[in-house]
Amino acid sequence: MKGTIYLVPFGKQKATEFLLQQAIHGISGNDFSNILYIGPTPRKIRDAQITFANLIPADGFIPPKFFTIKQFTNELFLKYCQDYKKLSDYLKPLLIQKISPDISIGYAKLIAEFIRETKQYLTDYTDTDLEEIILKELINKGCPADGDIYRRIQNALSIRAQYNQLLKTKKWLDAEDVGLQSLEFINNVEVKILVLDGFFYDLTKLEEKIVTALINRAEKVYALSFYDERIPEAYALPQEFLVFLHKLNLFQEEKISEHVDIRSDLPYYVCPSIEEEVDFIASRIKYEYHHQDLSLNRTLVTFSRLDEYETTVRRIFDKYQIPYSLDTTKYLSKTQPVIAVLTLLRAIVNDFPRLETVAVLSSKFFNRFSQETKDVINYFSKKAGIIKTANQWKDFGATLKAILKEENKLTPALTKKINRAQQELNTLLVLSERFPKQTATLSEFTQSLRQLLAQFQWCQGEFNDEITTIKNEFYNALAIIENFELDFGKTLIPLQDYLKILEYFLDQTEILPETKSEGVSILGFLETRGLDCDYLFFGGLSEDKFPGQGHFDPILPEWLKRKLQLPSLERHLMRMRFHYFRLVNTARLRTVLSFYNTDQDRVFLPSPYLSGEAQPPIKYNAIFSQEQLQREIGEQKQIDVSAFITPVDFSNDPAIKKILCEHFGPTKRISVTTLDKYARCPYQFYLENVIAVEDLDEPEYQIEPTLWGNIAHAVFERLYQTGPVPIEEIAPQINNILNAVLKESKLNQFWQDVGRGIFRDLLPHFISIEQNLRNQGFLPFSIENRLQASIAQDIYITGKIDRLDKNQNNQFIILDYKTGKMDSASPKAVESGINLQLPLYGYLVKKKYPNHQIANAGLYYLANDKIIWLKRNNNDIETLINIALEKAIIYVHNIRNGQFHLPPTSQQCWNCTYYSICPIKLNPDIDTTTDNNNN
């Protein structure tokens, strides 16, 4: 017999070493190139190579060939294949889309999977055979031939046939074809000794063929399998492999008996969150490293789904300073430079939404744009109220300048910055404009993209090697797309689809991580195949993740798959079961199983394989990381995090008071609006007007309220610019003025129309209010009247009075237009210090026109067609003025005194942006909550 199968129990240590020892038996010298070793995973190959090197006494030798089946067939393809190109797996869906353009890339992926499986497992059937068999089965099952499923499967089969045909005519091979082809090339290789280091049971039909061919070619074959019957359910898979080998009639069996305990009913640790699970694993490693015999190099950490754990694991292991190797594949689409490119495309596809556009403009990877602009664009565009569309961006500078000017913040330096930002934005828009917006071919899009990236100087500048590699890989990926289209023909697709294809493609394109081999090995579950260790940590063992249920198949029903011997759910479970039991039994010293059972509102049960006792994670009486140490100290000192939220009160600080006086001191005039703002909320006033750190919200679809205010003011100002206008002329005049003002405002037509709509609505009410005033004998006297006066020693206040009406008795009415929501202007409000504006205006007017009287003062709410009068019933304006003066003096003193800790008078705390850090919460006397918070 040329072949020997060595049967070992689960948990046998160093089986590979044993197997290799058999293989080199009798070879003298240091040329082992006649040995071909086939293993299940690249990681296992690496381990086997080291094992082998360790086994050979010589310091230098020619090694055996070590391959996985896939590596082996690829090698043959590279060496011997003529005239063919290889279709990488991730091009398959693109090709399928070419065949059937209206299926999504996601569905194409599923069809590709269907093609892959059928080509791997049903190698002996032609496309027509397959169609016949499958459709017959369906009819037998009672599936109507005009029914949906029948049609769907038929469609998938027809895509498969066309796909194969296309590959043939265009001379491409997919991975399965490469496997089949390699059968022919195997005769070119010399294999004397073949080592089949088990663990790759569950061979596909195609793989079985390749292995058979290799066995036939070899002179001697050494294979490894298991005989552990103590766990019969896990034993099914290796037994299948044995059956396969024995069918060849070339093998004898040799049992290596060795007593190894079986681990079943292992206890498992249930952690409350993923963070705590990984934390537990890391702390246990660290603890046992110090207190037990844990060796990092002999420790294996695996998770049912490493991709889910990866970032958390990296973060926590770094924190614990445990050296590890973790080679997960990284995909291009998740690298920062490529994210920037995709964001750019998304910006173009969606007509330049603010965030995407800002993300592009401020990205480190687009060198075309100046750092200066990168710094300011987020703030600028937020402030300018940009939401999206190239149109909005085109004159965002002008809008912004108008707004800043209104707030008195526009300086020449700022103007320069804005201009520059606008300029660079224009560049971005103009260049992007050239990108095909409608339909184009893949290559056309790709070329434009290349061009655009060159113009934006993508990844140019000082970047590390990693970025350079990403850049190159990205351009490679683009080249592959173009090449693909060159061979398979061009189709016009919309930009949206191009983005999707690109996203998909980059999602599949791996960039190879650096491989480290130090410390603890952290591996995906299937990567552990064939490995052994001293300590095993196996996490993520919850029902939802392990053993899982294979992938969702929209095409073939389970029963049909079972019938055709395609991978089915049963098979998947059989496979996972075997690997699970082998793995947990393989650690020489200890196996630690764990999972987390909650994530937000979700609850997870243990994996069905966990049959031991559930335990909470061990809490060691030790400190493993800086973080824990810091927490420990914090707890000991009982540090209170909110301590930094202290009331802002500078009344004991002369230096600060001096500074405040520079802005609000005796030499400065303080506007009534400033006082009002302080009154509304001193802390907010401090934030926005003293240290200028306002918190901007994401823009909404609307015009800045201040802009409306300006428009309204401008309209009414011009209306009475030259004195009273006869009632009947008000309407036509306002319409004219409004059109002029709107035109100057540079608003787009829509908002201009809204403006006209608003005025159309309010005009009749305005007129009737005017009429009313005139009936009482009042006529407009002055508009936009700027007044100032001192209200106490050292205090000057100023105010701009929108409108002053006068009657023949030298009485005045003060009016202030408001476009916002209604506030109270009641005498009560004045008394409680909320609204001082009107009485203070009254004071200013009186000062300026000493021989006149104030009949009344009102806030004219344009949105509500209402004037809220200060004087109602028989209260006295004079008294109110005096109260207001008193209050105003207090406010001014408070401001100069730096007292910003006082409670707000009219702001509502519960919907204030600053609430979460506002010291007001420390004040128990103030009810800051609302009542409409349900559930």
Partner 1 sequence: MSETLKSKIISAPAGSGKTERLAERYIELLKYAEPERILTITFTDKAAAEMKERIFKILKERDPVKYNLIKEKSLQLRIQTIDSFCFSLLRRFAHLIGYQPDLEVLTDNNYLKELSIFNTLFKIAEQEINTNDYQILINLITTNRFKGWDALRRVFDSLFQARLSPQRAKLPPIPGLERLPDLIAELEQDPITKERIPNFQFQIPQTSEEAEQLKAKITDIELIFLTKNKTPKKQGETLLQHQWNCKMAEYRKIIFNLTSNFRFEKTFLLFTNRFLKEFEELKKSLNQVDFADLEILTYRILTTHPEWSNILYLFDEHTDHILVDEFQDTSFLQWAIIAKLVEEWLSGEGAKRARGVKPTIFLVGDEKQSIYLFRNAHPEIFTRAKKQLSERLPKDEFEYIEIKENFRSLKAIIDFTNHIFPKLMNPLTDSPGWMTRYQEFQCQRNNPNHGIVEIILSPLKGNIAEARAKDAELVAKKILSIINKPIVYDQDEKPRPVRYEDITILLRTRTHLTAYENALREHQIPFIVVKGIGFYDTIEITLLRAILNFLVDPNDSFSAYLLLKSPLFNLSEKEILLISQTNEGPEANYLSLWQRFIAYSKNNNHHLSIINTLNKYLAMVGLKPMSQLIENMLDELDAWHVFWETPRYVNIKKFLRIVEQLEAEGLPPLLIANYFEKSSSKDEPKANVNTEGRNEVKIMTVHAAKGLQFPIVFVVGLDQQLTHRGSQEDILVINEQDEDTVYVLYEPDSELRKQSAIFQEKKKKEEEEEKRIFYVAVTRARDALFLTGIDQQPNKSDKPGSSQLKWLKDYLPIKFDEQQQLYATDTKIDGLSIISENQLSAEVQQLPTTTVSEEKPKKELLLQPLAEAPALIWRAVSKEIPEIYQEIRRKHGEEWITLGDILHQIFEKIANNKIQFELGEFVSEAIRLFNIYNIPKANYQKLLEEIERQFQIIKHSPVAEIIKPQPNSFAELPFVLKQGQIIYSGRIDRIIIKNNTINLYDYKTFPISKTEIAIYQEKYQTQLTIYKKAASKIFNMPKVLGYLIFTADGSIVPI
Q: Residue numbers of the site for ligand SF4 (CB under 6 A)?
A: 681, 683-684, 904, 907, 909, 912, 914-915, 918, 920
Q: Is 37 exposed, middle or buried (0-12, 13-18, 19+ CB in 10 A)?
A: buried
What, of partner 1, ligand SF4, none, does residue 683 touch, CB below 5 to 8 Å by kind? ligand SF4
Rounded Cα distance between 695 and 531, Å, is: 55
| Token pair of 223 as six digits | 């294979």
- Cβ count near 278 (within 10 Å): 27
Q: Considering only residues 808-867, where is the footprint of partner 1 by CB under 8 A?
A: 819-821, 862-864
Sign of the four-CA dihedral 52, 53, 54, 59: positive
Nearest CA among 485, 352, 355 for reference residue 429: 352
Query: What is the smallest separation between the CB atom of 935 and partner 1, expressed in angstroms?
Result: 5
Is residue 579 within 8 Å of residue 546, measured between CB atoms? no
289 binds partner 1 (CB under 8 A): yes
With beta carbons less than 8 A apart as the criterion, state whether 116 and 222 touch.
Answer: no
Distance of closest approach, residue 111 Cβ to ligand SF4, in angstroms: 57
Nearer to partner 1, 519 or 666 (CB): 519
Binding to partner 1 by residue 192, rule CB under 8 A?
no
Residue 414 near which of ligand SF4, partner 1, none (CB within 5-8 Å, type-dependent): partner 1
31 binds partner 1 (CB under 8 A): yes
Separation in Å, CA 637 to CA 139, 632, 641: 76, 9, 12
Q: Which of 762, 756, 789 is CA-nearest to residue 863?
A: 762
Cα distance between the two ends of the chain? 76
Cβ proximity to ligand SF4: between 585 and 684 the closer is: 684
Among 5-13, 333-341, 836-844, 869-877, the segment contacting partner 1 (CB under 8 A): 333-341
Beta-strand relationship, 779-792 and 614-615? unpaired
The residue among 391, 387, 382, 402 whose CA lies nearest residue 741 is: 402
The pair of structure tokens assigned to 475 is 């351009």
- Work out whether 665 is an interface residue with partner 1 (CB under 8 A): no
748 binds partner 1 (CB under 8 A): yes
96 φ, ψ (degrees, to nearest 5): -60, -40
Q: Do residues 681 and 904 lie in contact, with contact meaning Cβ atoms separated by under 8 Å? A: yes
How far is residue 66's CA from residue 221's CA, in Å, rounded to a whole number? 15
Shortest spacing between CB 126 and partner 1, in angstroms: 26
Region 753-782 residues binding partner 1, contact defined as CB under 8 A: 753-754, 757-758, 760-762
Q: Does 293 bind partner 1 (CB under 8 A)?
A: no
CB of 871 to ligand SF4, least distance (A): 29
Please state whether beta strands 439-440 and 493-494 pair in parallel, antiparallel, or not at all (unpaired): antiparallel
CB of 626 to partner 1, least distance (A): 5
User: Taking CB under 8 A as the criterion, which residues in 373-392 touch partner 1?
Assistant: 375-376, 378-379, 387-389, 391
Q: Which does 381 bind (CB under 5 to 8 A by kind): partner 1, ligand SF4, none?
A: none
Stretch that binds partner 1, among 203-211, 434-442, 729-737, 915-923 (CB under 8 A): 915-923
Binding partner selected for residue 472 from partner 1, ligand SF4, none, CB under the kind-specific 5 to 8 Å limit: partner 1
Three-state secondary-structure class, residue 5: strand
Is residue 78 involved in binding partner 1 (CB under 8 A)?
A: yes
**Residues listed for the chain:** 935
Write a three-state SS string for 590-606: EEEEEEECEECCEECCE
135 binds, among ligand SF4, partner 1, none (CB under 5 to 8 A by kind): none
Q: Does 569 bind partner 1 (CB under 8 A)?
A: yes
Which one of the spans 34-42, 197-205, 211-219, 360-368 is the region binding partner 1 (CB under 8 A)? Answer: 360-368
Q: Are 443 and 94 in contact (CB under 8 A)?
A: no
Q: Considering the rule CB under 8 A, would residue 109 count as an interface residue with partner 1?
A: yes
Cβ proximity of 593 and 538 under 8 Å:
yes
Strands 602-603 and 598-599: antiparallel
Query: 905 near 832, Cβ under 8 Å?
Result: yes
Count residues near partner 1 (CB under 8 A).
Answer: 209
Residue of the chain from 436, 519, 724, 903 that contacts partner 1 (CB under 8 A)? 519
CB burial class (10 A; 0-12, 13-18, 19+) of residue 26?
A: exposed
Which is closer to partner 1, CB of 793 or CB of 929?
Answer: 929
DSSP result, 634-656: HHHHT--GGGG----B-TT-HHH
What does 297 interact with, of ligand SF4, partner 1, none (CB < 5 to 8 A by kind)?
partner 1
Work out which of 55, 145, 492, 603 binds partner 1, going by CB under 8 A. 603
Residue 767, contacted partner among ligand SF4, partner 1, none, CB below 5-8 A by kind: none
Nearest-angstrom CA–CA distance, 463 and 364: 10
Q: Determine which residue in the list 257, 259, 438, 465 makes contact with partner 1, applying CB under 8 A.
A: 465
Q: Which is nearer to partner 1, 386 or 813 (CB)?
A: 386
**Least spacing, CB of residue 693 vs ligand SF4, in Å:** 12
Closer by beta carbon to ligand SF4, 280 or else 678: 678
Strand partners, 254: 6
Comparing CB distances to partner 1, the nearer of 552 and 793 is 552
| Residues 680-709 contacting partner 1, CB under 8 A | 687, 690-698, 700-703, 705, 708-709
289 vs 794: CA distance, rounded Å: 74
Residue 538 near residue 584 (C-beta atoms within 8 A): yes
Identify which of residues 38 and 918 has a Cβ nearer to ligand SF4 in the complex. Answer: 918
The answer to whether the beta carbons of residues 752 and 745 sit under 8 Å apart is yes
Interface with partner 1, residue 302, by CB under 8 A: no
Residue 904 site contact among partner 1, ligand SF4, none (CB < 5 to 8 Å, cut-off depends on kind): ligand SF4
Chain residues 207-266 in contact with partner 1, contact rule CB under 8 A: none
934 binds partner 1 (CB under 8 A): yes
CB of 696 to ligand SF4, least distance (A): 15
Residue 480 CB neighbour total at 10 angstroms = 17
What is the per-residue burial (b if ≥16 Cβ within 10 Å, else e) of 229-266?
eebeebbebbbbbbeebeeeebbebeeeeeebeebeeb
CB closer to partner 1 out of 269 and 812: 269
| Among residues 255, 315, 405, 434, the one that binds partner 1 under rule CB under 8 A | 315
Give the C-alpha separation, 885 to 789, whole Å: 12
Closest to ligand SF4 by CB, 833 vs 904, is: 904
Among 240, 351, 717, 794, binds partner 1 (CB under 8 A): 351
Nearer to partner 1, 204 or 381 (CB): 381
* Contact indicator for 362, 374 with CB cutoff of 8 Å: yes
Q: Are 556 and 149 in contact (CB under 8 A)?
A: no
> If binding is defined by CB under 8 A, does position 613 make contact with partner 1?
no
Q: Is 413 in the site for partner 1 (CB under 8 A)?
A: yes
State the minimum distance, in angstroms, from the CB of residue 821 to ligand SF4: 16
Shortest Å distance, C-beta 929 to ligand SF4: 11
Shortest Cβ distance from residue 723 to partner 1 (Å)? Answer: 27
| Shortest Å distance, C-beta 900 to ligand SF4 | 9
Residue 333, binding choice from partner 1, ligand SF4, none, Cβ under 5 to 8 Å by partner class: partner 1
- Residue 50's binding partner out of partner 1, ligand SF4, none, with CB under 5 to 8 Å set by partner kind: partner 1
Host H or E run for residue 16? helix 15-24
Q: What is the rounded distance in angstroms from the CA atom of residue 458 to the CA atom of residue 452? A: 9
343's contact among partner 1, ligand SF4, none, with CB below 5 to 8 A by partner kind, is partner 1
Supply the minimum distance, in Å, between the C-beta of residue 419 and partner 1.
14
